[in-house]
Structure 1
Amino acid sequence: MDKIAVTLSPRTVTGKKTRFLRRAGVTPCHVFGHNLASETLQAATADLEKVVAMAGTTRLVALQTEGQKKARMAFIREVQRTPVGGGLFHVDFYQVNMNEPITAEIPLRLVGEAPALKTKGRILVHPMAHVEVESLPGDLPASITVDISVLNELHDAIHVRDLKVEPEVTVLSEPDQLIAKVSEITVKAEEVIIAAPVAEAAAPAEGAAPAEGAVPSAPETK
């Protein structure tokens, strides 16, 4: 897997003045971590866009900071974008100790074709998109593959306990949680209520008093 790296530089511009940085193609950043004070930094927006697209939140990024010989390893913790246009507004990095285990939410990637879905009237139920795992930062997978080709019959299912991960990775999510299942499509019939037609009230005989609750007609003018 290719190494992902980005060069950061110290930032002295803060607050509302950072809009001038963004106009110049520079995005504000912060780097923080366990027992580490937050650092105010910046990077070229074009470089950061590539890093965000490649790393997501589950791949390590080597932070090459001016004035430091050794790169620091970090994950992207948060990406903020502008409401109009979706341009980069701010990026937070979380620096890690490569010798200490961490927990993370890892996306599930479904692959293959389920034979049970070839029958009409069936659907794949997929309630989970991520699982929580623990490992050393360098062993953390970018995603976990789920092969749905094992779903041969109706109601066949894959649970967290069925996931295949490397020995260095521990899955923390509950083993019985459902990941994928083949079910039947159910169509609920809507209840149709047909109102009975209202019978037209008979006109009272000439000279008779109108029925109780009836609205008397206006007198005919001549």
Structure 2
Amino acid sequence: MDQIELVAASRDILGKKVRFLRRQGLIPANLYGHNVESTALQIEASQLKHTLIKAGKSSLIALKVDGTKGPKMVIVRDIQREPLSGELLHVDLYQVKMEEKIKLEVPLLFVGEAPAIKERGGILVQNMSSLEVECLPADMPHNIEVDLSVLEEIDQAVHVKDLRADEGVTILTDPEQAIVQIARSRVEVEIAEEVAAAEAFAEAEVEEKVEAPEPTEEAAE
């Protein structure tokens, strides 16, 4: 992947006044890192949106800050959005050291089709959308693939331990967690419940008939 670049400028406007920046098409941001002094920045909104689409939270970004020498290698740590409109409000950027390992969430990319859906009528239940990994910045995977074509039967699942990480990448998420699994469709579940209920009712009726005492001669008179 080509290097992703982002340009920012130092920011003097702080607190609630940053709303004036947004009106000018600028998004407030903070840059921080291990043994790195926190710096307030502002970034052109359209450029930042394009960068976030391309990089997400799992790709290195070469950040150029006005008035400083050379780019700083960063990753996106946090994105704040307006709850209703989804508009960008603020971004946190973490400056990495290329020789130090980092922990981050990497999104899962689901590929292939599960035969159990088409052939067995099952439904796909997704339990996770990302995994926590540890690696050097240069080894960061943009995503981790999950192959759905291995799911051939109802109740079958793909667990974290079934995935293969790239060399230099350690998956920290619990290996026993199920990422996706095949469940019975709601219709099948309802039918199975109805059948089970009917069978239970029938068995109860049979037991009542068997256990019912026969009338005595006195009762018959």
What band does the TM-score fall into relative to the shorter chain?
0.7 to 0.9
Deviation at 1:16, TM superposition (A): 2.9
Give the C-alpha shift of residue 128 in structure 1.
2.0
Task: Describe how 1:207-222 pairs up with structure 2 within 5 A.
Answer: none
Structure number with bigger Rg = 1
Give percent identity, aligned residues only: 44
TM superposition shift of 1:90: 1.5
Q: CA deviation at 1:87?
A: 2.6
Distance 1:126 1:85 in 2: 26
Look up the equivalent residue of 2:38 and give its one-letter code. S
Report the more deviating stretch, 94-103 or 80-89: 80-89
Equivalent residue number for residue 135 of structure 2:
135
- Name the structure 2 match of 1:16: 16
C-alpha offsets along residues 26-54 of structure 1, whole Å, 9 cap, x if unaligned?
Answer: 22111011111110111111111111221
CA distance in 1, matches of 2:128, 2:46: 33
Unaligned runs of 5+ in 2: 198-221
**2:102 touches 2:135 (CA, 8 Å); kept in 1?**
yes
1:41 aligns to 2:33 (yes or no): no
Distance 1:166 1:30 in 2: 31
TM-score norm. by structure 1 comes to: 0.78
Cα distance in structure 2, aligned partners of 1:128 and 1:85: 25
> How much does 1:84 deviate?
5.5
Which has a greater percent of helix? 2
Aligned length: 190
Q: Structure 1 residues 84, 152: CA separation in 2 closer, same or farther (over 3 Å shift)?
A: closer
**Partner residue in 1 for 2:126:** 126
Instruction: Look up the match of 2:154.
Output: 154
Q: Which residue of 1 aligns with 2:219?
A: none
Moved over 4 A (4+): none
Unaligned runs of 5+ in 1: 192-222
Deviation track 1:98-143 (CA, whole Å, cap 9, x = no partner) reads 1111111212111101112223541222212221111101211111
Task: Look up the equivalent residue of 1:99 and give its one-letter code.
Answer: E
In structure 2, relative to structure 1, the CA distance for the partners of 1:131 and 1:84 (3 Å cut) is: closer
Aligned residue number for residue 102 of structure 2: 102
Q: How has the CA–CA distance of structure 1 residues 131 and 16 changed in structure 2, closer, same or farther, with 3 Å as cutoff?
A: closer
Letter paired with 2:17: K
Distance between the aligned counterparts of 2:84 and 2:126, measured in 1? Answer: 32
